[in-house]
Structure 1
Amino acid sequence: MRLHRLSVSAFGPFGGTQEIDFDALSEAGLFLLHGPTGAGKTSVLDAVCYALYGSVPGARQSQSAALRSDHAPADTRTSVTLELTVAGRRLEITRQPARVRPKKRGTGTTVDKAQTWLRGRDAASGDWQDLSRSHQEIGEEIGQLLGMSKEQFCQVVLLPQGEFARFLRADAEARGRLLGRLFDTRRFAAVEEKLAELRRAGQARVQSGDDRLLAVAHRIEQAAGPAAELPLPDTAPGEPGLSDDVLGFAAVARAGARERRALARSRVTEAERAQAAARRTLDAELATHRLQQRAADARTRAAALAADDRAYAELRARMERGRRAGTVAPALRLRADAERELLERSTAEDHARAALPAELTGADAVTLASAARGTLEELGSLESARRAEQRLAALTAERAELDREERADEEALRDVTEWLEHSDATHHTLRAAVETARDAVARAEHLAADLAAAQDRLAAATRRDELAGRAERGEQAALGARESALAAHEHWLGLKEQRLLGIAAELAGSLEPGKACAVCGSTAHPDPATKVAGHVDRATEEAALAAHRDADARRQEAERELSAVQASLAAATEAAGDDTTAELAAGVEQLRREHAGVRERAAGLHSAQEALAHAGDEHTRRLTEREQTRTRIASRQAGADRLDRERAELSAELADARGEADSVASRAGQLERRAELLTAAADAVRAAADAAQRLKDADARLADAAYRAGFDTPRDAADAALDDATHRELQHRIDRRQQEEAAIRAVLAEDETLAAEARPPADPATARSRADTADRILRDTVSADDAAARRCTELDRLSARAHTEARQLGPLRAEYDRVARLASLAAGTSSENERRMRLESYVLAARLEQVAAAATARLQRMSAGRYTLVHSDDRAGRGRSGLGLHVVDAWTGRERDTATLSGGETFFASLALALGLADVVTDETGGVRLDTLFIDEGFGSLDDQTLDEVLDVLDSLRERDRSVGIVSHVPDLRRRVHTQLEVVKERDGSSLRHRTATS
C-alpha cells in the first residue's frame, strides 16, 4: 500500500482545504511531520484512517460533530480525499460525513447525509472511473484489498509509540488484550469457553445421575420397610464409589425381603387348612338346617291347601259352565248384530219417507223406483235448453266487457293526447340538466387533484412543524450531552493525573520484606512512599473512565438522533414549501368546500341522463299507444252488433223451456233433487225389509245353540259366559293350586328331607361364627403374604432401575472426566499444565515470540548490539505464564524485565517492538506490502548517538522503495530529516506547508 495524495476540507483543525503530496514526501524515503502541540499532526493520520475506514482512531469514532472543523465556514462541506495504490490498483476515496446546516430558505436547519465515492484509474488511458457510491460496498472493497481491520491498520501503519511503551511494561493480561485484537484469537478463547461449557454440562449430568441414583436408594429404603433396619450408603454425590454402595445396599434389601416372604407363605398354608375344616362344618350344618326347614314349610302349605278344597271345587264348576257357554257365543253375537242393523235401517227409512211428497209417504219400494225413473226422463229433455241459457249468460258478459273496454280506450286516448302536447318542453328542460351535470363532473375531477396535492403539502407542513420542535430539543440535548461528555473526560484525565502523581505510594503498598522492588529491584525498602489524603486508586480512575465512556455514548446517541430528525425535517420542509401550516390548512378547507359543492352537482348526471332517455322512450311509446287505441275503437263496434243479434234469438228460445221457474238451470235443479229423494227412499225401504228378515233367522239359530249346550234358555247361556280376562284369571288360580300340590308332594317324597327331619335340630350360628374366625385369620395371613410379595417385586424393580442408572452413569462420568481434564488443561488450571498457560495465551505466546524475534533484529541495531528482546513462559507471581517479555543486556549478560529500561531505552525498544509487530501482522493478514509507514512521537527521550542509530534503522525501512513518516515536534529532528511537512497553527485554523530543512 502506497499513499499518493491526501486532501482535507473543514476537517479537524483545518478550516480550509489542505493537500498533502505524499509522492513528493516519499522521494527522500524519510520525512518529518512536525508542528506545535495541538496544531493537528495527529489529525493528518486521522484523515488517512477516516478515508480508508470511515472512522478515526480513538474515542471520536467518525462522529460528524467531532470531525468537522470549528473554523470552517457554514457553507463548506467537510471532506477527505485519499489517493493510494493498493494491490496494484490506483484508487481515490472521497468521504463526506453527515452535517447539520442552516436552510437555504427560511429559518431552521437541515441535515446533509454522509456520502462516499470510490474511483479507479484506468492504467491504459489514465482516466478516472466511478466504481461505487455505497458505504457498504466501498468498506468491503477496501477491507479485502488491505486485508486488515482498522485496529490492525492503526498498529501496523500508524505505529503509536505510547501504546507500545505501555505494552512493554504491561502485565500478561494487558498484553493478551492487545495481541488478541491484532491477531484475532477469539476462536481459541471460544474453544476454552466451549470446553468449560462442556465441563459444566457434564458435571451437571453426572450430578443429576448421582441424584437419581440416591433417589432410587431412598425408594429402596422405603420399600424395604422399617423391619429391615437398613442404613443408607453414606457416600456423597459425585464420589466414584456411590454406584457400588447403592447396588450393594439394594442386594441386602432384596435378600431380607425374600426371607420375610417365605415365613409369611408358611403362615398362609396353615391358615388355609384351618379355614377349610371350619367351612366344611358350616356347610354340613347349613344343609341340615335347610332340609329341616324345607320339610316344615311343606307340611304347613299342605294343611293350608286342605282347608281350601271346597272353594277349589266351586272354581272348577264355574270354569265348566263357562266352557259350555262358549259354544253358544257365536249365535249370541250374530243375533246382536242383526238387531243393531234392523234398528239402523228402520231409522234411515223413516228419514227418507219424511222428505217425500205427501202422496208418496206410504208408497212401497216399487212405486218409489218408478216415480224416480219418470223424473230423470223429464230432466234429460232440458239439457239443450241449459246449454242455450249458459251461452246467453256468456254473451251478456262479453257485451259488458266490450262496453268497459270502450270507456277505457276513450280515457287513454284523452291522456296520451294531453301528454304529447307537453312533451317538447319537458325534453328541452332535461337536456339542459344533462349539460350542466357534465360541466360539474369535469370541474370536480380538477378540484380533486388540487385537493390531494394540497392535503399532501398540509401533512408535510404538520410534520415539518413537529420535527422543527424535535430538532430544537435534539440540538439542546446534543449540546448538553457534549458538555457532559467533555466534563467527564476532563474529570477522568484529572483523576488519572492525580493517580500518576501518587503511583509511588500505590506501588509501595505491594512491597513485601525480602522481595525485590518491581521498580528498582532492591530487596530493602527503607522509606516507602505513603498515600496522602485524597489519593486516587485504580478503581476510582476506572470508574471515572467508565463514566466518561457512558457520557460519550450518550453524546453519540443524542447526535445520531439529532441527525435523523434533521434529515426528516429537511424532507418535510422540501415537500411543504414556504407556506405556513395555517395558510395551507385554509387552502385545503376552501378546496374541500368547492369540491363538495361541485360533487353534489355532478352527482345528478346519471339521473339526468336516465331521465332524458326515459322521456324519449316514453314519447315513442305514447305515439304508438294513440294509434293502437284508435284502431281498437273502430273494430269494437262490429263485434257489439253481432252479440246483440245472437242474444235476442236465445232469449226467445229459453222463454218456453223454463216454464214457471226463474231459469232453465233452476228448473233442472228441482228435477235433480226430486229424483235423488225418490231413489234414496226406495233403497231405504228395501234395506229395512232385508234387516227384519235377518233378525228372525238369528233368533232361530240362537235357540237351537242354547239347547244343544245344555241351557234352558239363551239367557242362561249368556249369563254363564266368561269374558277373556275372567277366564284367564280363573285358569291361573286352578293352575297355581295344581302346581302347589305337586310341589308339596315332591318335597315330602325326598329321602334327604325325610332323613334330616328325623335328626336333631341343626345349629348353623355357632358353625358360622367359627368359620368367620378362620376366614379373618386367613385374610390377615394372605394380606401379609401379598405385602411381602409386593415388597419383593418393588425391590426387584428398584434394584433393576439402580443397575440401569449405574450403567448409564458410567459413560457420563468417564466423559465428564475426559472433558474436565481437557477444559482444565485449556484453561491453565490443571496440574498437568505446569506453567498455568491458557490455550489462547499459548497461541498469543507463539505470536509474541515471533514479534520478539522480528523486533530484536532492529533493537540490536538501535542499541549497538546491547539489547535483545526475548519471550518468556515463566509465571509472574500467582498469575499465568505465556506472555512474559524480557530484555537481555549483552553488557551484563543478565535477563531483566522490560519495565527496568530507561526512558530512551524504552522508546527504541518499543519502536523496535512496533516495527516487529507490524511485520508479523502484515504476514498474518496475507503479506500486503506496506510502502508508507508513520511513527508517532517518542524521539525526545533519545540522546544524539541513539537518535542516529534509530534513524539509521528507520532509514533502512526505505529499502525497496518504502517511505517512513516521523510524527514529532523534537527540534533536533528538523535538522536531521530534510523532507518535512509542517503543520502551522493559526487563529482561523491550521494549515500544511511542504518544506525542506534548509528552506
Structure 2
Amino acid sequence: MRLHRLEMTAFGPFGSTQTVDFDELAAAGLFLLHGPTGAGKTSVLDAVCYALYGKVPGARESGHSGGQGSPLRSDHADPAVSTRVTLELTVAGRRLEITRQPAWLRPKKRGTGTTPEKAQSLLREHDAATGAWKSTGSRSHQEIGEEITQLLGMSREQFCQVVLLPQGDFARFLRADAEARGKLLGRLFATERFGEVEKRLAERRRATEARVKDADTDLLNRAHRMQQAAGDAMELPALTPGDPGLAEAVLTAAAVARSTAREQLAVARCALDAAETARARAEREAAAARELARLQRRSADARERAARLEEASAAHQEAREAMERSRKAEAVAPALDLRRSAEAEHRRAAAAEQRARGPLPAGHAGDGAAGLAAAARRAAEELGGLESARRAETRLRALAGERDRLDRQERADEEALQEAEEWLAGWEETRAALQARVEAAQDAATRAEQLAARQEPARRRLDAARERDRLAAEAGAAGESAAAARVKAAAAHEHWNTLREQRLDGIAAELAAALRDGEPCAVCGSPDHPAPAGKDVGHVDRATEEAARAGHRRLQEEAERAERRHADLREALAAAVAEAGEDPVGELARECAELTERHRREHLAAGDLHPAREELRRAEQEHARRTAARQEAAVRAAARVGHRERLDEERATLERELAEARGAAGSVAARAAQLEHAVTLLDEAAEAARAAEDAAHRLKDADARLADAAYRAGFDTPRAAADALLDAAGHRALQQRLDAWEQELAAVRAVLAEEDTAAAAQLPPADVTAAEAALAAATRRAREAASAHDAAERRCADLDRLSDEAARAARALAPLRARHDKVARMAGLAAGTSADNERKMRLESYVLAARLEQVAAAATARLLRMSSGRYTLVHSDDRSGRGRSGLGLHVVDAWTGRERDTATLSGGETFFASLALALGLADVVTDEAGGVRLDTLFIDEGFGSLDDQTLDEVLDVLDSLRERDRSVGIVSHVADLKRRVHAQLEVVKGRRGSVLRQRGAAG
C-alpha cells in the first residue's frame, strides 16, 4: 500500500481545503510531520484512516468535536462548505481514489436554519489504458469499507497498529500485564477463533456431562421403578447421577430383587392350587341346590298354566271358526283387488282428461281422441314451415345493430375530425412558443455556467482580501513588538557586558576568597598568600553575571520569536496581497454577492430547460397523432357509404318475407310460440282421452269377475265375501293366538309328564341361599389367591423387563462416559485447568504466545541496531497470576548477560524498544494478513526522550526501511528533527484553523 495524495476540507482543525502530496514527501524515504501541540498533526493520520475505513482511530474517535452535527467537522469551516476527505493510493496493484463526506447540517438554501445532509462515499479506480478515473459503481459506506479491508487484508484496528504506529500504546504494551497484551494481540491476530475452540470444547464437555448425568438419572429412575415393582423390597445404591460405579450397583440390586420375586411366586402358586380345589367343590354343591329348586319351580308353574288354559277354551273355539270363514273368502280376494284397482285407475284417467280439455279452444271441446290427434299434426306441420322465417328475423335484428354501430362511428369520427382540425389550426404558434422557451432556457444555462466559474475565484479573492487586512494589522503590531523586543535585548546585552567587565576588574578579590593556607594559589602556584586582594564596594560576583546573562538570553529568544512571527506575518501578507490585490473588501464583497445573485437567477431560469424540451416533445407527438387520426377518420367515412347502402337493401328484402310469415302475430317468434303451445295442448288432450276410454272398459270387466267369484265361494254377495276376508295382519294375529294356545297346552302336558320334575316336587324345598354363600366365600378366597399369584408373576415379569432395560441403559452409558472423559480431558487442556497442562496455559494464550515470540524476534532485529547491540527482546512463558503461564516479555541486556523485565528500561530505552516492537509487530501482522506490501508507515511521537546518539541510531533504522522502497513519516514536534529530516510537512496553527506547508527533500 502506497499513499499518493490526501485532500481535506473542513476536517478537524483544518477549516479550508488542505492537500498533502505523499509522492513528494516519500521521495526522500523519510519525512517529518511537525507543528506545535494541538495544531493537528494527528488529524492528518485521522483523515487517512477515515478515508480508508469511514472512521478515525478508536482512541480518538470520541475526541473529535465539531459543529453542525458532525464530530469530524471543523469549527473553523464556512457553514456552507461540506466536510470532505479524498485519498489517492495504490493497493494490490490498483490505483484508487476514495472520497468520503460525513453527515452534517448544512444551511437551508431558502430561509434560515439547517437541514441534515446524508453521509456520502465514492470509490474510483484509475484506468491506465485511458488515463481517466472511472467509478466502481459502489457508493455505500459499508461496501467501500469491506472492499478496502479485503484489499489491505487488515481491519481498522490492525491498520492503526501496523501503519499508524502509536508509540504510547507500545510503551504501555511493554509494561502491560499478560491480560492486556493478550487483548491487543488478540485483536491484531484475530485469535478469537481459538477462544471459540475453548468455548466449544467447554460446551461439549458440559453437553457430554449432561448426557452422562441424564443417562445416570434415567438408570436411577429405572431402579426406582424396579424398587416399586419389587414392593420396596429392593435397596437402591446411595449414589447420585455422575458418580462412578452407579451402573454396577444398580444391576447388582436388580439381580437380588429378581431372586426374591421368584421365591414369592412359588409360594403364591401353592396357595392358588388349594383355593381352586375348594372353590370347585363348593361350585358343585351350589349347582345341585339350584337344579333342585329349578325343578320344583317348574312343577308348580306347569300346574298354574294348565288351569289358565282350561279357562280360555271357549274363546279358542270362536277363533277357529273365524279362521275358517277367512280361508273361504281368500278365493274372492284377487277379484276384489282387481275391481278396486280398476276403479281407482278410472277415476284418475277421468280427472286427467278433464284437466287436459280445459285449456283447449271451444272448437275442439267435443272432439274425441282421434280428432284431437289430427289437429295436433296440422299445427306441427305449420310450425315446421316457420324455421326459415326465424333465421330471417334474427338477421334483421343483426342488420339493425350494425346500422346503429355505423351511425355511432360516423358521429365519433365527425367529433374527432373537428377536434383535430381545431387543434392543428394553432400548431405553428404553439411550436414557435415552445421553441423560444427552450432556447431561452439554454441561454440561461450557458450564462449560469459562466457565472459559476467566476464565483469561486471571486470568493477566494474576497477571503484573501479579508485575510490581507487582518494580516496587515497583525503585521504592524508584530513589527512594533519585534522592535521593542530588540531594544530590550540590546539593553540586556549591554547590561550583561557591563557586569562582566566589572567582574573581570574584581576577579582578583574573587580568587583571593577561595585561597586556603598551605594550599597553592590557582594563579601563581605559591602556597603563601601574603597580601590577598579584598572586594571593593559594588563587587560583581559570578551569580550576578550569570543572572544577567540568562536575562539577556531570555530577552534575545523573545526578540527572535517576535522577529520570526513578524516575518511569517509579512510572508502571509504578501501571499494574501498577491491573491487579493489592492481592492477594498467591501467592493469585493459586493461583486461576489452580485455574481451569486446573477447566478441564482440564471440557474433558476435554466431549470426550465428540461420541462420545456419535454413539453415540446409531447406537443410534436400530439401533432403527429392528431394528423394521423384526421386521415384515418376520412378513410373510414368513405368506406361507410357503400356499406350502409348494402345493409338497407338486405333489410327491405327481409321485412317483406317476415310480413308474410308472421301473419297476425307480432313476430315470427310469437307465431312459433303460439303453434308450439297449441301442439302441446292437443297432444296432451288426445293422450288423456284415450287413457280415460281404456280405464272405463277395464272397470266394467272387473265388476263381472267379482260377482262370479263370490258366488262360487259360497257368499251371497261380494260385500259378504269382503267382510269375511281378513287382511294379512289380522290373519297373522289370529293364527298366532291359535298356535300359542296349542303350544302352551302341549308344553304343560310335557312338563307334567317328566319323571325328575315329579320326583322333585315330592322333596323338601331346596336351600339355594346357603349353597350360594358357601360358593361365594370359596370363590373370593380363590380370587385372592389368583390375584396374589398374578401379582407375583407381574412382579417377576416387570423386574425381568426393567432389569433388561437397565442392562441396555448401562451398556449405552459406557460409550457416553468414555466420550465425556475424552472431551473433558481436551477441554481441561485447552482451558489450562488440566493436570496434564503443566504451565496452565489456555489454547488462545498458547497461540498468542507463539505470535508474541515471532514479534519479539522481528523486533530484536531492529532493537539490536537501535541499542548498538545491547538489548534483545525475548518472550517468556513463565507462570503469572493464578498459577497460569502468561504472555511475558523480557529484555536481555548484553552488557550484564542477565534477563530483566521491560519495566526497568529508561524513558529513551523504552521508546526505541517500543518502536522496535511496533515495527516487528507490523511485519508479523503484514505476513499474517497475506503479505500485503506496506510502502507507507507513520510513527507518532516519542522522539523527545532520545539523546543525540540514540536518535541517530533510531533514524538509521528507520532510514533502512527505504531499502524495500518504503517511506516512513515521523510525527513529532522535536525541534532537532527539523535539521535531520529535510522532507517536511508542517502544520501551522491559527485563529482561523490550521494550514499545511509542505517541503520536499530538495527544498
The TM-score by the shorter chain falls in which range? 0.5 to 0.7
The residue matched to 2:134 in structure 1 has which SS?
strand
The residue matched to 1:65 in structure 2 has which SS?
coil
> Cα offset for 1:237?
1.2
Normalised by the length of structure 2, the TM-score is 0.59
The residue matched to 2:183 in structure 1 has which SS?
helix
> Cα offset for 1:878?
1.1
Kindly provide the CA deviation profile for residues 547-570 of structure 1, in whole angstroms up to 9, marking residues without a partner as x.
Answer: xxxxxxxxxxxxxxxxxxxxxxxx
Say if 2:848 is the partner of 1:840.
Answer: no
Residue aligning to 2:6 = 6
Seen in structure 2, the aligned counterparts of structure 1 residues 714 and 826 have a Cα distance that, compared at 3 Å, is closer
Give the residue type in structure 1 aligned to 2:980.
R
Range that drifts further, 851-860 or 734-743: 734-743
Matches within 5 A, 1:568-967: 724=726, 736=740, 738-757=742-761, 759-878=763-882, 880-967=884-971
> Cα offset for 1:117?
3.9
Seen in structure 2, the aligned counterparts of structure 1 residues 742 and 910 have a Cα distance that, compared at 3 Å, is same
Residue aligning to 1:248 = 252
CA contact (8 A) 2:2 2:934 kept: yes
Q: Give the number of equivalent residue pairs.
A: 681
> Cα offset for 1:110?
5.8
Seen in structure 2, the aligned counterparts of structure 1 residues 306 and 914 have a Cα distance that, compared at 3 Å, is closer
CA contact (8 A) 1:169 1:899 kept: yes
CA contact (8 A) 2:82 2:106 kept: no
Choose from 206, 215, 222 the match for 1:209.
215
Kindly provide the CA deviation profile for residues 887-929 of structure 1, in whole angstroms up to 9, marking residues without a partner as x.
Answer: 1223333322212222222111111101111111122122233
Choose from 120, 135, 157 the match for 2:126.
120
> Cα offset for 1:168?
0.9
Seen in structure 2, the aligned counterparts of structure 1 residues 764 and 34 have a Cα distance that, compared at 3 Å, is same
> Cα offset for 1:161?
0.1
Unaligned 5+ runs, structure 1: 339-428, 447-576, 579-612, 633-682, 707-712
Say if 2:175 is the partner of 1:174.
Answer: no
Give the residue type in structure 1 aligned to 2:812.
Q
Kindly provide the CA deviation profile for residues 26-49 of structure 1, in whole angstroms up to 9, marking residues without a partner as x.
Answer: 333322221100111112222222
CA contact (8 A) 2:94 2:125 kept: no
> Cα offset for 1:113?
4.8
Say if 2:83 is the partner of 1:78.
Answer: yes
Unaligned 5+ runs, structure 2: 340-410, 425-429, 431-603, 606-639, 660-695
Residue aligning to 1:198 = 204
The residue matched to 1:238 in structure 2 has which SS?
coil
Determine the C-alpha separation between the residues in 1 that align with 2:224 and 2:12: 76
Residue aligning to 2:317 = 315
> Cα offset for 1:436?
10
> Cα offset for 1:270?
0.6
> Cα offset for 1:159?
0.9
> Cα offset for 1:853?
0.8
Normalised by the length of structure 1, the TM-score is 0.59
Give the residue type in structure 2 aligned to 1:147.
G
> Cα offset for 1:174?
1.2
Choose from 171, 183, 192 the match for 1:186.
192
Give the residue type in structure 1 aligned to 2:864.
Q
CA contact (8 A) 1:295 1:748 kept: yes
Q: Percent identity?
A: 62
CA contact (8 A) 1:319 1:727 kept: no
The residue matched to 1:39 in structure 2 has which SS?
coil
CA contact (8 A) 1:861 1:953 kept: yes
Seen in structure 2, the aligned counterparts of structure 1 residues 777 and 439 have a Cα distance that, compared at 3 Å, is farther
Say if 2:167 is the partner of 1:149.
Answer: no
Seen in structure 2, the aligned counterparts of structure 1 residues 47 and 276 have a Cα distance that, compared at 3 Å, is same
CA contact (8 A) 1:120 1:128 kept: yes
Seen in structure 2, the aligned counterparts of structure 1 residues 798 and 924 have a Cα distance that, compared at 3 Å, is same
Kindly provide the CA deviation profile for residues 672-710 of structure 1, in whole angstroms up to 9, marking residues without a partner as x.
Answer: xxxxxxxxxxx9xxx9xxx99x99x999x89xx98xxxx
Residue aligning to 1:60 = 61
Give the residue type in structure 2 aligned to 1:805.
A
Kindly provide the CA deviation profile for residues 918-969 of structure 1, in whole angstroms up to 9, marking residues without a partner as x.
Answer: 1111221222332322111111122233223222222322323332221111
Determine the C-alpha separation between the residues in 1 that align with 2:333 and 2:935: 147
Give the residue type in structure 2 aligned to 1:73.
D
Determine the C-alpha separation between the residues in 2 that align with 1:27 and 1:908: 25
Residue aligning to 1:38 = 38
Seen in structure 2, the aligned counterparts of structure 1 residues 751 and 433 have a Cα distance that, compared at 3 Å, is same
The residue matched to 2:17 in structure 1 has which SS?
strand
Range that drifts further, 8-17 or 263-272: 8-17
Range that drifts further, 722-731 or 248-257: 722-731
CA contact (8 A) 2:30 2:968 kept: yes
Give the residue type in structure 2 aligned to 1:231.
E
CA contact (8 A) 1:103 1:110 kept: no
> Cα offset for 1:333?
14
> Cα offset for 1:262?
2.1
Say if 2:164 is the partner of 1:164.
Answer: no
Determine the C-alpha separation between the residues in 2 that align with 1:765 and 1:2: 120
The residue matched to 2:825 in structure 1 has which SS?
helix
Say if 2:23 is the partner of 1:18.
Answer: no
Determine the C-alpha separation between the residues in 1 that align with 2:885 and 2:34: 41
> Cα offset for 1:96?
3.8
Choose from 966, 970, 974 the match for 2:974.
970
Seen in structure 2, the aligned counterparts of structure 1 residues 326 and 817 have a Cα distance that, compared at 3 Å, is closer
CA contact (8 A) 1:115 1:133 kept: no
Determine the C-alpha separation between the residues in 2 that align with 1:332 and 1:255: 88
Give the residue type in structure 1 aligned to 2:57.
P
The residue matched to 1:278 in structure 2 has which SS?
helix
CA contact (8 A) 1:2 1:85 kept: yes
> Cα offset for 1:303?
6.3
Seen in structure 2, the aligned counterparts of structure 1 residues 934 and 758 have a Cα distance that, compared at 3 Å, is same
CA contact (8 A) 2:326 2:726 kept: no
Residue aligning to 2:117 = 111
Determine the C-alpha separation between the residues in 2 that align with 1:333 and 1:895: 140
Determine the C-alpha separation between the residues in 2 that align with 1:255 and 1:5: 94
CA contact (8 A) 1:132 1:138 kept: no
Matches within 5 A, 1:488-637: none
Residue aligning to 1:548 = none
Determine the C-alpha separation between the residues in 1 that align with 2:868 and 2:138: 51
Kindly provide the CA deviation profile for residues 130-171 of structure 1, in whole angstroms up to 9, marking residues without a partner as x.
Answer: 252524565455434433222222222221100001111111
> Cα offset for 1:823?
1.4
Seen in structure 2, the aligned counterparts of structure 1 residues 866 and 280 have a Cα distance that, compared at 3 Å, is same
Seen in structure 2, the aligned counterparts of structure 1 residues 866 and 731 have a Cα distance that, compared at 3 Å, is closer
Determine the C-alpha separation between the residues in 2 that align with 1:737 and 1:91: 125
> Cα offset for 1:204?
2.0
Give the residue type in structure 1 aligned to 2:848.
L
Say if 2:989 is the partner of 1:985.
Answer: yes
Determine the C-alpha separation between the residues in 2 that align with 1:334 and 1:13: 133
Seen in structure 2, the aligned counterparts of structure 1 residues 914 and 775 have a Cα distance that, compared at 3 Å, is same
Matches within 5 A, 1:457-468: none
